Each structure stands twice: as structure tokens, then as C-alpha cells.
Structure 1
Amino acid sequence: MSIEINGLEHVYSPNTLFEHAALKGIDCSIAEGKVTAIIGQTGSGKSTLVQHLNGLLVPTGGSLDICGFHIQPLLKIKDIKELRRKVGLVFQFPEYQLFEETIEKDIAFGPKNFGTSEEDALKLVRKVLPMVGLDESYLDRSPFELSGGQKRRVAIAGILILDPEVLVLDEPTAGLDPQGAKEMMTLFMNLNRKLNKTVLLVTHDMNHVMNYCDDVMVLDHGKLKHKSDVQTFFEHPDWMINIGIEPPALIRLKMALQAKGFDIPDDVLTLEALGNCIEKQVKAHE
């Protein structure tokens, strides 16, 4: 079942001097079983949008339907715990999700909160820990003694242990080195492709969008500026430039070559295809 968002609005501190409209009538459908990137400059409304998906925020206007739940203003969400089990949200700052004395207790908190026995919850912890690149030597450590990247891995483990249908990731690779980021993105892609998890990825990394995502949503000042598949999106780099987002390295290289007179079709979006295109044109002028 797709995620349906209809006229979604959210106003912070309404009817005060600090009133701020963060979302201004978002209308879209997010495909089930796909990886959808949500991009935009800081303050565009990305984090506000995803916090509506598991009921952390309630709309001030419009509605959304997700995993069998209908969410709208002034309507109390029945069984909100079940919604939050089905829709797992990993915050941009992992400290928001970590609170227990040890990593083992922190990760086990979710299933225990849903009635899983202590013994079974701890078995699940040991099953999910390797998925995020950690081993059992971390179990007795305090989550607050970890590096930023390690905290992020623990926070992600605390969501994965609940086996959500929809995984919402707010800058999930922030604080990770390039290898760690690659491992984490590979994990998310495996969850999508092998287990058919719907993945929503809030990110500033256009290389991740290009290499891992199926669809792209662009937010700008609280409005949905654009939505398309990844191929179409990167065929039009002006869409990124117009809202102040730097295109990925491959697209910048392609644009530089076009500026030098190379004829490179819009649908050339891989390094191999770009290399073949250049090679043909160079040979033609020998």
C-alpha cells in the first residue's frame, strides 16, 4: 500500500509571534517497496514531513494515509504504538533515541515495550547487532560513550529490531566515514530489495540519491517542488541548481564536458556510459 499525502500542512506555534508554516499543502503518493529520497535545503520541511509519518507530529491541515492508519488534524491516532512499530523513524541526531544504561538494554527496549519476553528480546538484539556493523563486545557499554557514528548504528539497530514495514531515515550516514556510509546504505538496500521494505531517505548526499534511490521528492520552503523517478530527476540538473543543491560529481563532470562542446545525451548517468560517449566522440575526431 502506497503512502498517500493530501494537502498536508504543519504550522509551528500557531497564533503566536513565532508562528511558522513548515509545510504548505503537500500532495503526493509514495510508492510501496521503493527507496524514495526526500531532498531540499535546510529548513525546507524535510524533517517536519517525515515526523508526520509515525505520528510524532500531527497535521494542522490535510491528511495522510500510511500502513492502514489515517492521520488528520484533531483526530486521535488509535493504537499509535502499532503505527510506530510499522513505521520506524531514525532521527538525524541519534542522541534523541538513546537513553538506556547499556547498548543491550537500549536496543531491547522496543520489543520489550511490545510484550516480547526479556530472553527473546536479548536474542533479537544479538541478531540485529551485526546488521549494523557492531559485535557483542558493545552490549555492556553505555551508548553515550560511543562515537557519533557508533551511536547512529545503535539507533538504527533499535529500529530494525522491530522489523518495520516502512523505514524512515533522516540523514542516516551523517557522522560515518565513507566505508561506514557505504556499508549502511548497502544494509538499507538489502532491506528494500530482499525484504521489500519501503525506505524513505532524507539526505543531502546527491551521490546516495543517484546510486541507491528509485524516486526523488524535492521540498522547497515547505512546498513539494518536484517529484519524479531518479533517472528523470538527474537528466535535469537545473532542478537542483535552482534550489541551491549541488549536483553529484558525475553530473558536474557531465555539465563541464557539455560546456566544452561534448555532445552528451541527458540519459547518460553512469561513469561507464559517460566514458563510452566521450571515447566515441574523441575517436570520431582523430
Structure 2
Amino acid sequence: MSIEIHDLEHTYNAGSAFSHAALKGVNLSIPEEKITAIIGQTGSGKSTLVQHLNGLLLPTAGSLEVCGFHIQPLLKIKDIKKLRKEVGLVFQFPEYQLFEETIEKDIAFGPKNFGATEEQASDLVHKILPIVGLDESYLDRSPFELSGGQKRRIAIAGILVLNPKVLVLDEPTAGLDPQGAKEMMTLFMNLNRKENKTVLLVTHDMEHVMRYCDHVIVMDQGNVLHEADVNDFFQNPDWLIQVGINPPSIIRLKLKLIENGFQIPDSILDEESLLKCIKGQVKICE
């Protein structure tokens, strides 16, 4: 089931001198079992939007249909815990949410909060560790002894252990080195491809959008500015630059080549195809 959003509005501090309309009549149909990127400038409404998906924020106006739940203004969501089990929200720098004395206790906290016994929670913890690329040697360690990337894996394991249908990630690679970011994005791609998770990714990284995502939503000042399949999205680089989006490196290289006289179709978006294209246009001097 896709996520359906109808005329969604959210105003912070409504009725006060500090009132701010963060979302203004947003309409979206987010496809299931795909990786959808939500992008836009700081303050465009990205994080506000995704916080509605598991009831952290309620609409000022409009409504949402998420995993069989109907969310609307001033309506207390029945079984809010169940909704938050179905929609796992991973905040930027999720490692700051770690608090238990051992990794096993930290990951087991969620299942036990949902009624799992000690034994059931322990079984779930042991099953989830390999999925995030860690082994059982970590279980008795303190989460505060780990590297930044390892902490993030533990925090994400604490969400995945609940087996959500939808995984919402707010800038999940922020602060990671290139290798750590690549490993994290590969993890999310595998969860989508192998576990059929619907993944929503709030990000500023266009390289990640091009490489890992299927669908793109562009937010601007609380509105949906654009929505497209990822391949269609990157075929108009002039528009991307115009709205303040820095295109991926392959797109920037294409633009430079075109400036220097090469004929390159819009549909070429990968290195191998680009290399084949320019090889046929290069004259070799003997």
C-alpha cells in the first residue's frame, strides 16, 4: 500500500506571533517497496513532512493514509505504538538516542516495550545484528565505546528489530566518511531489495539519490516543487541548477563535455555508457 498524503498542512506555533507554515497543502502518493528521496533546501519542510508519517506530528489540516492508519488534525491515533512499529523513523545522528549500558539491551529495548519476553527480545537481537553488518561479539559492549559508524548501525538495528514496513531516514549518512556512507546506503538498498522495505530518504546528497533511489520528491518552502522517477529527474540538469540543486558528478561531467562539443543524449546517466558515447566521438591522432 502506498503512502497517500492529501492537502497536508502543518503550522508551528499556530495562533502566535511565532506562527510558521512549514507545510502548505502537500499532496503525494509515495510508492511502496521503493526507495524515495525527499530533497530540498534547508527549511523546505522535508523533516516536518516525514515526522507526520508515524504520528510524531499531527496535521494542522489535511490527512494521511499510512500502513492502514488514517491520520488527521486533532484526532488521537488509535494504537499509536502499532503505527510506530510499522513506520520506523531514524533521525539524523540516531546514535545520540543510544542510552543502555550494553548493545544487546539497547537493541532489545524496543521489542520489550512492545511486549516481547526477555528470551524473545534476545532472539530478535541476535537475528538483526548480521543485517546491520555486526556480529555477536558486540552484544556485551557499551554502545559508547564504538565508532560513529558502528553506533549508527546499532541505532538503526534498534529500529529494524521491530520489523517496520516503512523505514524513514533523515540524513542517515551525515557526518560519516565516504566508506561509512557507502556501507550505510548499501544496507538501506539491501533492506529495500531483499526485505521489500519501503524506504524514504531525506538527503542533500545527489550522488546517493542517483545511485540508490527510485523516486524523487523536491520540497520548496513547504510545497512539493517536483516529483519524478529518478532517471527522468536527472535528465534536466539546467532545471536542477536553477532551483539550487547541485547535480551529481556524472551530470556535471556531461555538461562540461557538451560545452566542449560532444553530443551526449539526456538518457546517459552512468559512467560506462558515457565512456562508450565519447569514445565514438574522439579522433585519435597518429
Q: Output the amino acid matched with 1:117.
A: T
Aligned twin of 1:56: 56
- TM-score normalised by structure 2 residue count: 0.95
Please give the secondary structure, in 2, of the residue aligned with 1:263: coil
User: Which blocks of at least 5 consecutive residues in structure 1 are unaligned?
Assistant: none
Describe the shift of the 1:146–1:5 C-alpha distance in structure 2 as closer, same or farther (beyond 3 A): same
Q: Output the amino acid matched with 2:81.
A: K
1:165 is displaced (CA, Å) by 0.5
User: Deviations for 1:34-75, whole angstroms, at most 9, x for unmatched residues?
Assistant: 110001111111111111000011011111101000101011
1:216 is displaced (CA, Å) by 0.2
Q: How does 1:132-281 map to 2 (within 5 A)?
A: 132-281=132-281
Farther off after superposition, 182-191 or 267-276: 182-191
CA distance in 2, matches of 1:132, 1:215: 24
Q: Which runs of 4+ in 1 moved over 4 A?
A: 283-286
RMSD of aligned residue pairs (Cα, Å): 1.7
Describe the shift of the 1:214–1:168 C-alpha distance in structure 2 as closer, same or farther (beyond 3 A): same
1:133 is displaced (CA, Å) by 2.5
User: Which blocks of at least 5 consecutive residues in structure 2 are unaligned?
Assistant: none
User: Deviations for 1:205-252, whole angstroms, at most 9, x for unmatched residues?
Assistant: 111110111100001111100000001000012332122221111011
CA distance in 1, matches of 2:285, 2:224: 45
Q: Output the amino acid matched with 2:60.
A: T
Please give the secondary structure, in 1, of the residue aligned with 2:128: helix
Aligned twin of 1:102: 102
1:96 is displaced (CA, Å) by 4.9
Q: Output the amino acid matched with 2:222.
A: G
Farther off after superposition, 249-258 or 182-191: 182-191
Describe the shift of the 1:25–1:96 C-alpha distance in structure 2 as closer, same or farther (beyond 3 A): farther
Q: Output the amino acid matched with 1:30.
A: I
Contact 2:93 2:172 in 1 (8 A): no
Please give the secondary structure, in 2, of the residue aligned with 1:282: coil
Q: Percent identity?
A: 74
CA distance in 1, matches of 2:20, 2:146: 35
- TM-score normalised by structure 1 residue count: 0.95
User: Deviations for 1:124-175, whole angstroms, at most 9, x for unmatched residues?
Assistant: 1122122222333332333334333222111110011011101111111223
